[in-house]
Structure 1
């Protein structure tokens, strides 16, 4: 009956057959002589635990020209170490992947892209419907004193109707506006109102004091 060699015996016999010492193996593999001796004695409790044991066995096997997977199989047989199992077997995972990706044909992907673009467009349209016009009045400043006529300058969106004290003012192509108002002496309020085509409006008021 053929003798079933252990990992240690297999390494030891092959090393001696190649006329190599433990020091020779240690020098080439960078594994301490003490660890190599423990492996050949099948005393794996003396080695660092975890993946180090399998790493030492694999390195030693390659150095001696042995099949590392065969040697590791002997190690698992003798010491009851189970090979690492996958969390999900391939037979379960791969059919799921195929069934999912089967729905993503070029036609389906095209329809999905069109739907996404349309959705983004609708969102922007809804935002624009709710957005109020922007109005910036650069002159006059609020709570200041000035003489008549009072020059009013500012800028707004290009697609709005702008009125100053209920009088419509024209805009240039950049949305800028300016006009002059003849106002009576005393405290006055200048009301600038911008209304877009969707009926949304923004009002900016300036309180000034007109002096002689």
Structure 2
């Protein structure tokens, strides 16, 4: 055993230090410390590293590092190194793909066949497909026209030739050349009634496409001027007006020459100055009032107003018709002013309250309207009748 190695081992054992602990403390691998103690020069790294390990290990064990390094150097010189063996170099093999002619030729032939078949398919489709026609006007299969001249517009292949035929007739417009974007147009003449229109396109390859349309030409009859319609001005009611607990007032004026005026079919009296005024009873709800004025020549004009009627009490309108009648009215238990006397035919009285009681001495002449609804006569001629009306 080498002398410097024995010194190291004996000193370590003298201090009671294990080889594992020494490796941990010196940060030198345990196998190198074991090689130093055994003098195994072949297990140690190069001389420079070994001398460094030796100095650190000697100082760790409190030994003179210089003397130990000298011993290591002397022993290393006298220890022969084992012969080195060399492995012969292997040739570098590079991977790659080698395509032989036996593989390449079939692949090229197959690719050529596929391309040829694709070319034939494209050519066949080109020659077999007829030219497209997109009809812009008329777009629908059935169209209604109000004028005798009609413009047919569409889009097709730019190299096509368009022909338009109209039946009955027939009228034919041929050799219509589309623009560069394929658009075309043609003006045709229509006859009253149904017209069958054929639009054909012939392309450069001789393929033909056709689209059919039906156009009905309706002649609008000219109206023969009639008598001039009379003017009617409705002042009341206002459009959209609301009326509560009352009849709907109607008033306005008509021009001279008007011989009759009705509101929803009911006649309205026209004054000598052309003005009219009245009040019409309607039930609760929304009502349309249609004013119709007529002249002796048969001309007429109309105006319409829409109103809303509502009630918050009992509204009782009394019309004395066909004779006179004694009349007494009580509103909410009190006698209404001006009643308790005889009213002549044509008199109209209206009473409003939660409860309205009417007593008449001639029931047949007493016509009653309650909240816009016609009740009618209260009884027979000369009959005394008392009737109470309330707001429901």
**Pairwise TM-score range, normalised by the shorter structure:** 0.3 to 0.5
Tell me: higher relative CO, structure 1 or 2? Use CA pairs within 8 A at least 6 residues apart: 1
- Say which one has the larger Rg: 2
Bigger share in strand: 2
